[in-house]
């Protein structure tokens, strides 16, 4: 098995979130904290072909994504700038590249069976509602029945699947089964100085990991490596941050035999596992 580069992506803005969809797309959220603007792009997850690039909604910064379902991105606004509370639901259709519907009063909770469950805050407490996810039309008024909402939310969470995702974890050298990993890391230490935590995962016959290396000036660089567990051969070596003062985390993940590798703050490179 080998790694093959499929595509790279950058708009030279900070990548905030990567959100794969169930329809083989990936949504990229980028934020410019200086100009206070947020941009959203959509790529074909396998080829990197741009379905849309750097779109903005009417609200240019205080907006985020709740979830994506059936090629609809559900956005939210914020109650107030710099405050975490969400308010409003904006349904953006990926295929038409337009807002399909919007409701400014409700706050999104979750989706179940193509219905959006949401709430509205009143003086005497919250009231709950369900909306048709494709049209935004009211389906049911649920009053203040929080027990039913909690039950339905647990049901919705139970239907979410992360089976084809692999996320790295921090290496604990005292765990059983890490002997070969320690051997490989020790062989690297003959040439470089590693410091801080190592984030890794195993995939087929690969060891995939990021580690911080000490530079001559005392700073660090963060490097991703893919190494054949059997031969110890380095199959891929990619600098994540050329120079940094802090430990870097959450630089890569795997989904559907694709490796997503964040480069610096603004770049994405995607590799596929072949063979």
Output the pLDDT for position 173. Answer: 81
Name the pairing type of β-strands 194-203 and 72-78.
unpaired
Output the pLDDT for position 275. Answer: 73
Per-residue pLDDT tens over the stretch 174-184:
888 888 999 99
Please give the Cα distance from 76 to 157 (Å, whole number): 20
What parts of the chain have a pLDDT lower than 50? none
Q: From the centroid of its chain, how far is CA 201?
A: 17
Say which residues have a Cβ less than 8 Å from residue 224's Cβ, sequence separation at least 6.
208, 209, 210, 236, 237, 238, 239, 240, 251, 252, 261
Q: Which residue in 161, 165, 162 sits closest to 254, CA to CA? A: 165
pTM: 0.92
**Tally of CB atoms within 10 A around 29:** 18
Domains of the chain, CATH where assigned: 11-159 (2.40.128.630), 165-255 (3.10.450)
Output the pLDDT for position 156. Answer: 95
Output the pLDDT for position 83. Answer: 76
SS3 track for 2-40: EEEEEEEEECCCEEEEEEECCCCEEEEEEEECCCCEEEE
Q: Is 255 exposed, middle or buried (0-12, 13-18, 19+ CB in 10 A)?
A: middle
Output the pLDDT for position 175. Answer: 86
């Amino acid at each position: 098995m080998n790694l093959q580069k499929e595509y790279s992506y950058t708009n030279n803005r900070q990548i905030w979130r990567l959100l794969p969809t169930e329809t083989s797309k990936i949504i990229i959220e980028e934020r410019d904290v200086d100009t206070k603007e947020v941009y959203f792009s959509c790529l074909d997850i396998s080829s990197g072909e741009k379905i849309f690039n750097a779109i903005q909604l009417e609200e240019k910064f205080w907006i985020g994504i709740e979830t994506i379902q059936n090629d609809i991105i559900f956005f939210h606004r914020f109650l107030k700038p710099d405050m975490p509370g969400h308010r409003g639901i904006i349904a953006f259709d990926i295929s038409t590249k337009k807002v399909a519907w919007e409701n400014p009063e409700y706050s999104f909770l979750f989706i179940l069976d193509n219905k959006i469950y949401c709430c509205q805050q009143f003086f005497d407490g919250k009231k709950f509602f369900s909306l048709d996810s494709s049209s935004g039309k009211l389906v049911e008024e649920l009053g203040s029945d929080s027990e039913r909402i909690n039950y339905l939310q647990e049901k919705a969470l139970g239907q979410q699947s992360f089976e084809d995702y692999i996320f790295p974890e921090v290496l604990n050298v005292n765990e059983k089964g890490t002997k070969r990993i320690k051997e490989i890391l020790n062989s690297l230490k003959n040439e470089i100085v590693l410091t801080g935590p190592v984030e890794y995962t195993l995939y087929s016959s690969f060891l995939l990991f990021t580690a911080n290396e000490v530079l001559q000036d005392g700073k660090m660089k963060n490097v991703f490596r893919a190494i054949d567990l059997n031969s110890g051969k380095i199959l891929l070596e990619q600098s994540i941050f050329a120079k940094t003062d802090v430990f870097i985390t959450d630089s890569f993940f795997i989904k559907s035999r694709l490796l997503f590798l964040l480069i610096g703050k603004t770049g994405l490179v995607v590799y596929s596992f072949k063979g």
